[in-house]
Amino acid sequence: MDYEKLLSFKYLKVRPCKEIKGSVSVSGAKNSALPLLAASLLTEEVELTNFPVLLDTLYALKILQALGKEIALSGNSVRIEGKISSVKVPFELSSLFRGSILFLGGLLGATGKAEVTYPGGCSIGSRPIDQHLKFLEALGADISVESGYIKVKLPSEPAVREFTFDVITVTGTENALLTLVRFKGEFELHNVALEPEVIDLIEFLKKLGVEITFKGRSIRFYVPPNGLKKGKVLHKVIPDRIEAGTFLVIGALLGNPLKVKNLEPNHLEAVISKLKEVGVKLKIQKDSVEVYRKEPLKAITLETAPYPGFPTDMQAQFMAMLSVAKGVSVIVENIFENRFQHALELSRMGADIEIKGKTAVIRGVKKLIGAPVNATDLRASASLVIAGLIAEGETTIYKIHHLLRGYEKIDEKLNSLGCEVFLGKT
């Protein structure tokens, strides 16, 4: 697990790419792999296939090792086995990425106890865990804070059998699902997140014997009297819809055509709908989408929203694309209050973007110019890669560890399509 190698890269050089013709395969979803790794604490042995090897997933594997699990990583498959020897998630690892908070639920579901710190990750605005803690308080958990760690101990039986989230929260929903396996019997969760990554976790939990049914944004969760099934669980991580959407945007700008493979088109309905609105031609098949460059692109208006709405994780990539669209586009960011940091970096490259609170107004320009820029968060870094591919001259993106947290071998994938993208260490 050589995450030091990934951490050694400091920048990415991107040269202009006139066109892309060929195909690219989407990796497994980071945002699915992380809750699945937390869920691996619930049983004796887990093997995940289609596993993305990224900074975030490697950090998560380090946490599992710190908790006592044995890890065997081979290519895009990982096996996790062994007993839990600690319920304390080390600060030096949890502070590195947002997904570390999922080990709270994994440990509680497995042992009834957990010690975690507030998670780290991208600086894209407030991402509190108040809903996680409110859920645990409702269960009757004993919660205390000592030396920077949140210590949680579950009761033998939950104080309530029903809970409603105040707001839709993906990791809050996932942590609740992971925690509830500790209690036999029925529980109802309301106002839950329904992202494909949440559903993937649910499919995993079903393999452990949990019965889960849906009605709108409500979940009925039932653990049978004999508890969870033991033994080996084999699970394939779903394709990364955000990586797929990123390549579809690249195809909209450069595809002649570009075929994006190993994806789930139904996970991308909101993105595909907006690409059609921009004027892009798409050929949708069972597990792939072929996208054709469109000139000029049309200006559009979009708003981010919880799934199945337009994903906040695709907002930055669309901003890069719309910066060269004809007319005035508007993006409203409803999920995070500080997720327009990439606008300044795109402006360094000649984009005309005005930020008004949670709204960005993008006036399309004829061209972008390559420049040195900083990746401010994971998806912002992807927007800068897109901008660099269509700009005149070379673009150097610094703080590239953000990109490596969520895009597996993106340099190799782009170079295989005829682009010139290079990771650098010094």
Residues marked as catalytic: 122
What is the radius of gyration, based on Cα positions, of the chain?
22
Q: How far apart are CA 12 and CA 214, in angstroms?
A: 44
**Position 395, amino acid:** T
Q: Tally Cβ neighbours within 10 Å of residue 425.
A: 9
Q: Give the residue from 244, 243, 287 showing the smallest Cα distance to 264.
A: 287
The percent helix, strand, coil of the chain (3-state, each to 5) is 35, 30, 35
φ and ψ at residue 287, rounded to 5 degrees = -135, 25
Q: Give the residue from 113, 58, 59, 60 showing the smallest Cα distance to 84.
A: 113
Q: How far apart are CA 142 and CA 129, in angstroms?
A: 16
Residue 240, CA distances (Å) to 20, 331, 406 in order: 21, 23, 9
Handedness of CA 119, 134, 163, 228 (dihedral sign): positive
Q: How far apart are CA 168 and CA 164, in angstroms?
A: 10
